[in-house]
Amino acid sequence: MSRPGASDRDLLTASFRRDDRAIDAFRRWSRGIDWEGRLDDGAYDLLPALHRNLRGLGHDDPLLPRLKGVARKTWIENQRSRAELSSSLPSGGAPPLLALPPTSLLFVGGTVVPRRRSLRFATRCEHAARTIVELRERNWRPDGRRLPPPAWLDGYVRATDHLPMRRGADERLSLTWRLETWFGSRTEETWANAETVSLDGTSILVLRPTDALEFALRQPVPDRPLPWLANALALASPAVDWSALRTVLAAEPLGPGQATLVPVFDEILEPTGDALGDVLASGATASERPAASPFVEPARWAAGAWRRFRGSFGAATPWPHIAGQVPGYVVGRWHVARRRRAQAPWTSPEGR
C-alpha cells in the first residue's frame, strides 16, 4: 500500500502537527522546494493550512508573507465559490443537499482549504431524480453520460449510485444518493444528525464533525496519499467525538489501504492524543458471491435486478409508478454492467 514520501510527510507535519516538530518539518520541507518554480497542486493546496499552523505556533520565517498571500487568495476564492453556490444549486421547496467533504469545508469555520476538486453533494435516493432535473435547469449537464427521458429518470437513479455533472468549462459537481456506501446501517442516523447551514436563502446540510471525518477516512486512497491524509487531518477538529468514532471503526473497520495510513494520521495528531491505531483493519476482506452479469447470466442478473429495484421503493409506492420506472432501471443497470465489464470504475474516488 502507498505511504507518503519524506517530503509529503514533512509538509503534512508542518501543516497540522501542533508542536515544535512542525517547525522542524517545515524547515526540512522548504529546503527542498524551488521557490522560484511551480509547486504541484497537492503541495500548493496545503499552503494555507501550513501558514495557519506556523502562525499559531508563533514561528517567524521569511516565507510567511508569501504563505499569507496564498492563504488570503484562497480565502477570497472560497468566498466567491460559496456565494455562487446559492444561484447554482436547487432552492425554494427542493429537499436540501448534503455537502460532503471536502466541499463541506466551504461551510464550516471559514476554512482556507482550496476548493480545487469538484463539488460533492448527496441527496436521498427518492429525491435524486427531482434534484437532477433542478440542477439541469441551472445549466448543469451530465458529464460523459446520456440520461434516459425524464419519465424514466427515477428508475435510472435507483440502478446507479452517483452522477458526475459539469457546468461551463471548469465547474464540476458529483451528486450521490448512496450514503450507505460509507455509513452502512447508520445512514439514516447520519442524515438525521446533519446540521443545516443557510446560504443566501438556500439550505445546505453538512455532516456533523465525527461523521465528516469518518467519511474522509473511508475514501479510497489514491496513488499519492497526500490528498487523503490532508482531507482527514483538516477534518480532525476538537469537535470530533473520538470515542464514538473509535467505536464505529472497531465495528466496521477501515480497509487495508486506509488502515496503512492511520499510523501517519496518528503520528501527526499525537500532541492532541486523538489516536485511531487501536481500530486498524485486520486486512481481511469479506467473501461475496460475484455479481451476475447480463452478458453471461441474464436470468440470474434479471432476478437480482428486480429484487433490488422493488426494494428501492417504499411499501406505499403505487404499483403504476414502479412499473413505469422499469425501463429506466434496466437502462441504468445495463450501463453499470457495461462499465464493470470494461473494468471502468462507476464511482471515482474523488467524485470527479
Q: What is the pTM of this model?
A: 0.85
Find the DSSP H helices in the chain.
Answer: 6-16, 20-31, 41-44, 47-56, 64-88, 125-137, 153-159, 180-183, 187-193, 209-217, 226-235, 242-251, 256-268, 298-311, 319-324, 326-341
What architecture does CATH give domain 86-206+291-341? Answer: 2-Layer Sandwich (3.30)
Q: Which of 109, 159, 166, 108 is nearest to 136 (CA)?
A: 166
- Amino acid, res. 42: G
C-alpha cell at 109: 469555520
The predicted pLDDT at position 283 comes to 44
Please give the pLDDT value at position 225.
95
Q: What pLDDT tens digit does each residue of the chain (352 aa) get?
A: 578 999 999 999 999 999 999 999 999 999 998 888 888 888 999 999 999 999 999 999 999 999 999 999 988 888 888 888 878 888 766 789 999 998 998 887 656 666 666 899 999 988 999 999 999 999 999 987 788 888 899 988 888 888 999 998 888 999 999 899 899 999 999 999 999 988 777 889 999 999 999 999 999 999 999 999 999 999 998 899 999 999 999 999 999 999 999 999 999 998 887 888 877 754 443 333 444 455 556 666 566 666 777 777 777 788 888 878 887 887 777 777 776 666 554 444 344 3
Contacts of 130 (CB under 8 A, 6+ apart): 94, 95
The residue ranges of every structural domain in the chain are 86-206+291-341
pLDDT of residue 93: 67
